Structure formats: structure tokens, C-alpha cells
Amino acid sequence: MKYMREKNSSYKNIVICLDGFRHGGTQHAVLHMLPYLYKTFGKVYLIILQQDKLDLTIAPNTNLEIVRFDSIKLADIHLLKKLYHFFRLVKPDIVLASMYRSIVLTAITKNSKSRLIWMEQNTYLMRTKNQWRLLRILAFRVFKIICISSDVENLTSRKILSRKKMVVIPNPVMIPSEDVNHLTRHNDFIFVGRLVKQKNPSLALESFNYFLKTYNLDSCLHIVGDGELMPILKLMAEEFGIIEKCIFHGFLPNKDVYSILNRAKTLISTSIIEGLAMVRLEALVNGNCLVTTNSGGTEQYFRANSDIGVFLAKEDKLDFSQKMYLSLSKKYWEPIAIEKRKRVGKDFSPEKICSLYVAQFNS
């Protein structure tokens, strides 16, 4: 493969390295920031270690070069050689890496003059002691560690012991261009996320079932996402007798997710652990109410149980369903309440978040 370095550019080159590019918070954050990175850097390289037919679509750009591999393991000698060769040819000024394999392999293979920034996007409680030990050893090769929330920063600093290198910057959210104050919405709910244990979608379904049985409202639950729990969730819905009230969409493009948000009133987020579930902020910017568990940056970035229609719920179907019902109250759907929710996301625009990243690159 040939890699073109912009030798005469007055801007720096950046390499972004990710394990994969399927649906996920990190991938969407990168997509949101790419247009602003094109304006800042002479060349943007995106490395995807394991490509997949379900990868998110990336709009072509003359400033973007995508390098795809088919690697599935950490100890991949062939991949190590390829990355080592790549970094010596391209000589990037900045290397931005997220996800375990990417942060490890970039630390090993990058050239000495490149500034390596790790993106820590979650409270990775599932990492083993040996995985954390390896990161602690490799951290000396890292220029900065950008954590998505203070919860992530606290955990990462305890494990890696490099707090001086850490800074907290949230992911960006897309700011809707249309006026969402006057949309016609139904008393419907939406869950967005991978259907895996971490996201706890079964609590969302159990709470919705209890909501229907208790309050007898004509509501639907939109479930946007896919994963190993999909068959179990569909079986649960059938057993509860609410399958006709549950719409399983699978993964959808962003524009289709926003279309559903525009028709529904409340996002429900039931995650057990998170770094910061950006879909919560995206929903608020879109005017939706929010019922969420207290996982990953919830209290750091917006006030829960306040007059704006944000409810912090226990991991319990009774409490969750009660707050789902409260979120439909008329006072939360007055124009002034909707406007308060929209204001929450102004500090998370892609342009602003990208500028915070660039400031760290140059610090």
C-alpha cells in the first residue's frame, strides 16, 4: 500500500486508529468530528483493524484515507509489521487511538515523534489485571489520555497511574437543524443501544410492560439496536403479551434514529455501566425527556430529577416505569421545558468538542 504524506502542508497530519467501525459511541464521535478535522489537518488517516460488512458509512473526502485490515487478535505479527511500516512512511504528527487493541498496538508501533492520544470511552470494568498492567507499561509512550467523563478518568487513573496525562472531554452530539419545539409526538418511548448485557435492555422491556399494565396508556416502545439479546427480548415481549407494542428496528442510520426521536417523547437508558451514553444528550438536544440509570457521567453533565424532564431511576421496573409515566406530564412538554432540554447539548457540538481535542494535541 502507498500512503501519501502532505510534505508541503502547513497543517499537521493525524491518524485515527479504531478496532472496528460498527455502530458504537466512539465510531459516531469520530464521524461527527471528521468534517472539522478535515479543516484542521493536512491529511486524516483512519485505520480500522477489523473491517466488517456492517461498518458505518463514511462519506468520501479528499483529505481522508481509510486503511482497513482484517485482523481479529492482539498478537497479530503481520498486523504489527504493517502498522510499523505505515507509521514510518506516514510519520503522523498526531495518533488518536481508542479501544483496547488499537491503544496497545499504536503505543507499540508508532514512531517516536508522533504524539499518541488514547481515547478512553468507558469504565472498562471487564478488563483483566494483565490488560491494565500492559496499559500501565505502555502509558509512557502516550502524550495524553482523553476520558469521556470524570467516572472514566477516576477508574483509568487508578489503573494506569498517569493522572497528569488525563483530561476529560465528552463526545460530540449532533445538533438538529430543525425546530423540534412544535413536533407532533406520541406517548411513545425509545431505547437506543446494543442489545447486550451492559446496556440492560431487559430492564427497559420489563419497565415498559409494567408501565402498560399500570397506567393503561396507548404507548409503544421503539427498540433501536441489535445484539445477542434480541431473540430473548422478542420472546419476553411475546410472553408479556406486548409484542404488538414493541417495535424492534435493529440498527438504523442516524437520520432514521432522529426521525423516531422526533415522534417519541421519552428516551429510556438502562445501562449498567457507561462512560457517557451520548444518546442521552442527543435525545435532550432533540427535545425528548430522559429516564436513565445513574451510569457514566449522568450527574456530571446534566441535572437529574430537575424541571427539564430528566429522571434518574433505580434499576427497578417499578421506579423506572413510574418515572416513564411522569415524563409524559404536560409540564414537560411546554415549549419552555423543551427549550431547556435543548440547551443542555449546546456545549457538545462537534465543532466545539473537536476544538477541545485540537487544543490538547497542541498543548
- In order of their start, the domains of the chain are 13-168 (3.40.50.2000), 189-346 (3.40.50.2000)
pLDDT, tens digit, 9 for 90 and up, residues 188-229: 999 998 899 989 999 999 999 999 999 988 999 999 999 999
How many percent of the chain have pLDDT more than 70?
Answer: 91
Cell 482497513, residue located: 68
**pLDDT at res. 7:** 40
Query: In 10 A of CB 158, how many CB atoms?
Result: 10
pLDDT, tens digit, 9 for 90 and up, residues 312-340: 899 999 999 999 999 999 999 998 888 88
**pLDDT at res. 8:** 36
Please tell me the number of Cα atoms within 13 Å of 52 on its side-chain side: 12
Tell me the residue type at 93: D
Cα separation, 26 vs 150, whole angstroms? 17
pTM of the shown model: 0.80
**pLDDT at res. 335:** 87
**pLDDT at res. 9:** 39
pLDDT, tens digit, 9 for 90 and up, residues 85-130: 999 999 999 999 999 999 999 999 999 999 999 999 887 878 999 9
Give per-residue burial for 113-139: e unless 16+ CB within 10 Å, then b: ebbbbbbbbbbbeeeeeeebebbeebb
Query: E strands, the chain, where?
Result: 13-18, 43-48, 64-68, 94-98, 115-120, 144-147, 166-168, 189-192, 221-224, 246-250, 266-269, 289-292, 310-312
pLDDT, tens digit, 9 for 90 and up, residues 156-177: 999 998 789 999 999 898 776 6
